[in-house]
Amino acid sequence: MSSSTHNDSKCAIREVAPDVWTFSCPFSRFGLIPFGGRSTAIKLSNGDVWVLASTPLDEATKSKLAEIGPVKWIVGADAVHHLFLGDYKKQYPDAKLIAVDEAAKKKAKEGLKFDGAWGADPASTRYGFEGDVQHCYFSGFKNKDVAFFHPKSRTMIEADLLFNLPAREQYSKTGSPGYFPIFGNLNPYSWAHKRFAWSLGVDKEAMKRDVKTVAGWDFDRIIPCHGDVIEKNAKAAWLEAYKWYMD
């Protein structure tokens, strides 16, 4: 957890597996629905730090990242998780910034320069962290998400491909239960999630291809940006959420 000097942070910070840290923060969609937000940091085998940056870079987050090691990769997971990329790049100017093309175009208006962009780069592009973190770009998903896989910890990381609500951990330091009627139980085993996953697949054939690629990864944990971490049996959760693409 963060040090006592930063205990005013609303983000819950923990090491969920060796060399994998989560930064779970409150976030309400439309200021109403408590989806929660989460960044994930991975210490790579060479000591560098890879960060999926999706939450505010508060003092507690900066302090923990400084403990883990030098931030060398800042990653945006999809077209809409880009709000804080500029803050991270400003704090870690030597880090390479990679995101999906839609996010890169939005941030280019702010003068932010990217070192790579899924959807614009050739599909075979390797960015330099693949020895530790694999990736699969979902070109057929509405939000143009990328799924990531850290084989060492058997962990899959994603933004909007899979929700596991309610967001208990992300609201654990707020006094709120992080629950909202109807949307509050959007989890991989619900019919609503299957419907959600199907409706956001704008290219069904591309989705089938990429869903099966992820299904081929050997993971047991999923770290979503929205909702609680699925600590075990996460492959079953993925197969259930995307069942309509697998049949």
Encode pLDDT of 127-169 as tens digits.
999 999 999 999 999 999 999 999 999 999 999 999 999 999 9
What pLDDT is attached to residue 34?
81
Q: Are 176 and 32 spatial neighbours (Cβ–Cβ below 8 Å)?
A: no
Taking every pair of Cα atoms in the chain, the longest distance, rounded to a whole number of angstroms, is 52
Kindly report the CATH number assigned to the domain that includes residue 222.
3.60.15.10
In a domain? residue 167: yes
What pLDDT is attached to residue 102?
97
The pLDDT-based confidence of 4 (bands split at 50, 70, 90) is: very low
In a domain? residue 110: yes
CA 37/CA 33 separation, integer angstroms: 12
Record the pTM: 0.94
In a domain? residue 123: no
Sheet of strand 146-150: strand arrangement? 134-137, 146-150, 155-158, 221-224
Q: Which domain holds residue 219?
A: 4-117+136-246
The better pLDDT of the pair 33, 105 is held by 105
What pLDDT is attached to residue 193?
96
Report, as an integer, the average pLDDT of 86-92.
98
What pLDDT is attached to residue 1?
33
The pair of three-digit structure tokens given for residue 197, joined into one six-digit string: 């996953």
**Number of structural domains in the chain:** 1
